[in-house]
Amino acid sequence: MSLSATNPPGTPSADSAAAQLELRLPDLPATQRLAERLAARLEPGFVLFLSGDLGAGKTTFTRALLRALGYTGRVKSPTFTLLESYELPSFRLYHFDFYRLSSDRAWLDAGFDDYLGGSGVVVIEWPEHASASLPAPDLRLRLDFDATAGDDARTARLDAGSPRGLACLKALRAAGAAC
């Protein structure tokens, strides 16, 4: 995993630069290491959005997150169920996938908003499909294929939306050299 600044020279403020981070993930273990680093920063109430095309690695990332948090059972994609939840030692983790969600209304009708703002960690794939109903996350992670660097290469773009999201990025930057 290597670091590169997303903000070109002359962009507005140090604050906006601090709120974004772009990482090159050359292979699957690099994605797993990123998940391990983020797992260490998660706390009750944390909301993480995962974006990117089908097959980019959102579910794979979440699986690595759960493994890093000590979950050893099966981690299924919630593509059809919309939600899979996991009881972890320090909190519950709710893993949503809204790929098949037909509308914002469907999210509200299913009562999913009850999960936000609680004591669980919430991870949402395809948050764009319920965009109007969702609050701003602590952190957004976008995974993109990086075809120029091989089939398994990805680019990770992270955007912080809260002080604890910013703290995550700070920790990732500090760990960057060791990735």
144 binds, among ligand ADP, Mg ion, none (CB under 5 to 8 A by kind): none
Q: Which two tokens stand for residue 165?
A: 């999201």
Name the token pair of 133.
């109903």
**Region binding ligand ADP by CB under 6 A among candidate stretches 4-12, 16-24, 49-57, 113-121:** 49-57
From the list 25, 19, 18, the residue with the least C-alpha distance to 2 is 25
Question: Looking at 18, 20, 24, 27, which residue binds ligand ADP (CB under 6 A)?
Answer: 27
Query: Nearer Cβ to ligand ADP, position 19 or 124?
Result: 124
C-beta of 19 vs 47, nearer to ligand ADP: 47
Question: Where in 77-116 is the site for Mg ion (CB under 5 A)?
Answer: 77
Q: Is 51 a residue that touches Mg ion (CB under 5 A)?
A: no
Distance in angstroms (rounded) separating the CA atoms of residues 21 and 113: 28
Under the criterion CB under 6 A, does residue 154 sit at the interface with ligand ADP?
Answer: yes
Distance (Å, rounded) from C-alpha 148 to C-alpha 112?
39
Site for ligand ADP in 84-143 (CB under 6 A): 125
Q: What is the CA radius of gyration of the chain?
A: 16
From 29, 60, 27, 26, select the one nearest 141 (Cα to Cα): 60
* Piece of 76-84, 114-122, 154-162, 165-173 that binds Mg ion (CB under 5 A): 76-84
52: alpha, beta or left? (left if phi > 0; alpha if psi -120 to 50): left
The site for ligand ADP (CB under 6 A) is made up of 25, 27-28, 31, 52, 54-60, 77, 125, 152, 154
